[in-house]
Structure 1
Amino acid sequence: MSLNISFTSQRILHIALPSIVSNITVPLLGLVDVTIVGHLGSASYIGAIAIGGMLFNMIYWIFGFLRMGTSGLTAQSYGAHDLPEVTRILLRSLGISLLLALALLVLQYPIRIIAFHLIDASPEVRELASLYFHICIWGAPATLGLYGFTGWFIGMQNSRFPMFIAIAQNVVNIVASLFFVFACDMKVAGVALGTLIAQYAGLFMAYLLWFRYYRPLRKYVRQGAVFTRKAMSRFFQVNRDIFLRTLCLVAVTVFFTSTGAAYGDVTLAVNTLLMQLFTLFSYIMDGFAYAGEALTGKYIGARNRTELLRTVRHLFGWGIMLSLAFTLLYGIGGKGFLGLLTNEQTVIDASGTYFYWVLAIPLAGFSAFLLDGICIGATATSIMLKGMFAASASFFLIYYTLHDSLQNHALWMGFIVYLALRGIVQALLIARKGIG
């Protein structure tokens, strides 16, 4: 029995650990851009990159269903040893990604006008951010295409390739941006161009890895129709649920940030810093969620219920262990970590009033991450959507019921309940309907 446990955990870690590295490297693309322009001598450059980066994060976050939907569908076909369908899923995902990217390119001007109408910025920052936006938007085909490749690789039980690609993108971005900014004196345009080149370098690398290491699948590229009615119906049903779930997630996140700002600059700063602790935890748990996607889909496709249940048990074992570890870590060193992020003593002092909410995040939230991954792998995305909808409704209900008396504490209470309820509702629905 111990051998089975060890082997199951090994398979989980084989996918989870490279995924965690990939998750951590993703925000570095934006951090590199901000760091470079931060040495150009004007705050407007930093503001432009911050606004442009935030806008693209929101846009691409909404299209994250391309990665998640592709992962679950691919894993099931991989588990069933249906190699022609495995290949068609990749082509299907890349085709849809290209169409969505073309739509973004066509609509780039109205998107920019609407977005900048909602963002309060100085004329100089607005002008520079517009320049950044209209250069980086041409990376949409590469970014969305990479979503398809990344989901496909994970579904094929291979999270190392997305890790290699993410690291390579950061290297290319650093080198290209430094060259264009300091050697060519292109400033914000140079940073945008460096980011653009890094995005296409990532897509090109993904294609080369697929071409080199998945050579046997090339013979299936021209076999059978990729965009059949039945296949597209399933593809869009899965991705529709994930898309609507993402909209709920975005609504909660944006509301949390914007409402916290209404309580003053110090409270906004406190919320922002404390949320970094949630973000750090989410990077780790997302890695195990990716393992859940890949392995759940694989065992459902292979109709191996024994290994499916064993994997779910081990995922939750890792989840509980990591949650306890993070709770202890935050309890001991969380405030010291905040000291690394800011030297504003008023912000650090004010954070103590809300810090106990952060201690509740790991145990309240770990099951939501793991069950999201399990539902994606099982393509039981309607369960994930119902859990997110119920949790989001609870967040707004709690806040509007209690904000007069609790103010910012009502935001945090609503957020903790929202995290916990996502996992609880999904667990209840899975227990009733089952997966696989």
Structure 2
Amino acid sequence: MATNVATALFGIADLWVIGRLGIAEAQAGVELGAKFMMGLLVVFNFLRTGTIALTAQAAGRADAAAQAAALVRALGAALLIGALLIAAMPLAVPLGLEALHARGGVADAAATYVGIRYWGGALWLVNAVLVGWLIGRRRVRAVLAIEVAANLVHVALDLLFVLGLGWGVAGVAAATLMSEALKLVAAALVAAREEPAALARQLSRQSATWERAALGALFRLNRDLFLRTLLLTGAILLLVRDGAMEGPVVLAANGILYQLFILSALLLDGFESAAQVLCGEAVGARDAARFRRLVRDVLLWGLGCGALISLVYALAGAPFAASFSTDAQVVATTLTFLPWAMLLPVLGVSSYVFDGIYIGATWTGALLVTMAIAFAVYAALLLVTGPLGNHGLWLAFALFLAARAAAQAALLPRLIRRGFAAA
């Protein structure tokens, strides 16, 4: 949980520092540019989640070679995807910003941000693999140390580049890019000291590591996770796009509300990561009773923490949200829609926990089905709630989270019976 909060500070620091300038278009441009990069990269988050699941299951079997192979194959995939993204840059950037309805000064600021951050895409992908592998090996404290160090550097660079040197939007993007590079170096140094890392170096040179059957199993898992994340990212980008159509003030306010949402989501994703590792180990050990006990316990702990975060937002959310901008219109608009940010932690936590359970058990096909159902519900709700304006947009998003959890809960008993039938 602490590691995920450290991760959230990247976006929070960027939006908060640019908000000191009191320019709604600049803040909206950073929001739009950041969501473009999120849409581009987070769809490949299977590199992290898939690596956690495969590494945890291998750890449950005490199979060091399988842990090493999971690392090698995921790194190979990350480097290939990174090269393809760089090649696609001249086409991807203008099309992506147009799809998000970037206009005027907001479009200029977003293009500046993306033009710098895009070059760090490969760094982000490799980081996802290394962090996932370390979490799968229960090296979470090392990951936390890396995230905290990278964020301290990131905040310092944000303040230096934006407020000290006056680089504005370009300073925010440069700070993020340099922080990602630092995180990659640190994660690589930690991973290299792990026992299976020596095996990983050997396996990378063996043709058996890259055989079609072994890669096929990896890509089937990652295909489902990719498509599931594509739908999730699409839902978030629809939220951003519809906000952009309301103008820069609403877009900037929604960006602040999204930071509150993602802060709570990443904090509660600690339960998702725990479920991935612990449930993955239980599946690897073929221990059905342990798996059922973990499902119950992680859900209860998650719901309790989700309710607590919602309460904290209700009591202290207003001054925290208002601190993100010095533009009076942006602040007033943010506070108008703040109740949605208060509701989302308790409403969304069950879906995060179920994600971890499904991924740890490698039930990724079922996970994709539940996300497709929830996305269809969300798309229909956007049409129905459209006349309510921005309130309708956040209502549809809140019900999307609830629909995800409902579909996952409905499928889980059958998956457990089928998955542990032999046990």
Normalising by structure 2, what TM-score? 0.83
- Is the 8 Å Cα contact of residues 18 and 163 (structure 1) preserved in structure 2? yes
* 2:32–2:102 Cα contact (<8 Å) kept: no
Q: 1:226 to 1:281 in 2, by over 3 A?
A: same
Q: Give the 5 Å matches for 1:240-251.
A: 240-251=223-234
Q: What SS is found at the alignment partner of 1:107?
A: helix
- Distance (Å, rounded) in 2 between the aligned partners of 1:297 and 1:30: 35
1:327 paired with 2:307, answer no
Structure 2 counterpart of 1:319, one-letter code: G
Q: How much does 1:181 deviate?
A: 8.1
Give per-residue Cα distances to partners, 1:1-34, cap 9 Å, x unaligned: xxxxxxxxxxxxxxxx343333333325635874
Contact 1:63–1:243 under 8 Å retained in 2: yes
Corresponding residue to 1:86 among 67, 84, 93: 67
Q: 2:11 aligns with which of 27, 42, 59?
A: 27
Match of 1:372 in 2: 355
Q: d(CA) in 1 for partners of 2:339 and 2:23?
A: 38
Mean CA deviation greater in 65-74 or 165-174: 165-174
Amino acid corresponding to residue 202 of structure 2 in structure 1: R
Task: Verify: 1:238 aligned to 2:221, yes or no.
Answer: yes
Deviates more, 1:342-351 or 1:241-250: 342-351
The structural deviation recorded for 1:93 is 0.5
Name 2:377's counterpart in structure 1. 394
Q: What is the aligned-residue RMSD (CA, Å)?
A: 3.5
Identity %: 31
Give the C-alpha shift of residue 389 in structure 1. Answer: 1.1
Shift, 1:188, TM fit: 6.6
1:433 has 2:410 as partner: no
Kindly indicate whether residue 386 of structure 2 is the aligned counterpart of residue 414 of structure 1.
no
Q: 1:352 and 1:46 mapped to 2: Cα distance?
A: 17
Secondary structure (helix, strand or coil) at the match of 2:199 reads helix
- SS of residue in 2 equivalent to 1:157: coil
Q: Take 1:216 and 1:425, find their aligned partners in 2: how far apart are those partners? A: 38
Residues 83 and 122 in structure 2, CA contact (< 8 A), matched pair in contact too:
yes
Q: Compared with structure 1, are the counterparts of its residues 322 and 188 closer, same or farther at alpha carbon in structure 2 (3 Å cutoff)?
A: closer
Aligned pair 1:60/2:41, yes or no?
A: yes
Q: CA deviation at 1:232?
A: 1.4
Structure 1 contact 69–239 (Cα < 8 Å) conserved: yes
Compare 260-269 and 235-244 and name the one that shifted more: 260-269
Alignment partner for residue 52 of structure 2, among 55, 71, 76?
71
Aligned with residue 206 of structure 1, among 178, 182, 187: 187
1:148 is aligned with what amino acid? V
Distance 1:120 1:259, change over 3 A: closer
| Structure 2 counterparts to residues 138-177 of structure 1, below 5 A | 138-173=119-154
Shift of 1:263: 5.1
Distance 2:141 2:34 in 1: 26
Summarize the alignment of residues 5-404 of structure 1 with structure 2, pairs less than 5 Å apart.
17-27=1-11, 30-31=14-15, 34=18, 52-118=33-99, 120-122=102-104, 126=108, 133-173=114-154, 192-212=173-193, 214-215=194-195, 217-219=197-199, 221-223=201-203, 225-262=208-245, 271-341=254-324, 357-404=340-387
Q: Within 1, Cα distance between the matches of 2:152 and 2:301?
A: 32
**Separation in 2 of the partners of 1:132 and 1:342?**
19
**Inter-partner Cα distance in structure 2 for 1:319 and 1:182:** 38
What letter matches 2:296 in structure 1? Answer: R
| Contact 2:60–2:282 under 8 Å retained in 1 | yes
**Whole-Å separation in 1 of the counterparts to 2:269 and 2:299:** 13
> In the TM superposition, what is the alpha-carbon distance from 1:59 to its structure 2 partner?
1.4
Contact 1:18 1:160 in 2 (8 A): no
> Relative to structure 1, is the Cα distance of residues 412 and 208 closer, same or farther in structure 2, using a 3 angstrom cutoff?
closer
Determine the C-alpha separation between the residues in 1 that align with 2:197 and 2:297: 32
When Rg is computed on C-alpha atoms for both structures, the one with the higher figure is 1
Could you say if the C-alpha distance between residues 85 and 129 of structure 1 is closer, same or farther in structure 2, counting changes exceeding 3 Å? same
Shift of residue 242, structure 1, vs aligned partner: 1.5
Taking the aligned partners of 2:124 and 2:141, their CA distance within structure 1 comes to 18
1:187–1:358 CA distance, 2 compared to 1 (3 A)? closer
Matched residue type, 1:147: A
Query: Secondary structure of 1:280's match?
Result: helix
Question: Could you tell me whether the CA contact under 8 Å between 1:339 and 1:348 is conserved in 2?
Answer: yes
Partner Cα separation in structure 2 for residue 167 and residue 321 of structure 1 = 26
Q: Distance in 1 between matches of 2:106 and 2:315?
A: 44
- How many residues matched? 414
TM-score by length of 1: 0.81
What 5-or-longer segments of structure 2 have no aligned partner?
Answer: none
1:375 and 1:381 in contact (8 A); partners too: yes
Which stretches in structure 1 are left out of the alignment for 5+ residues?
1-16
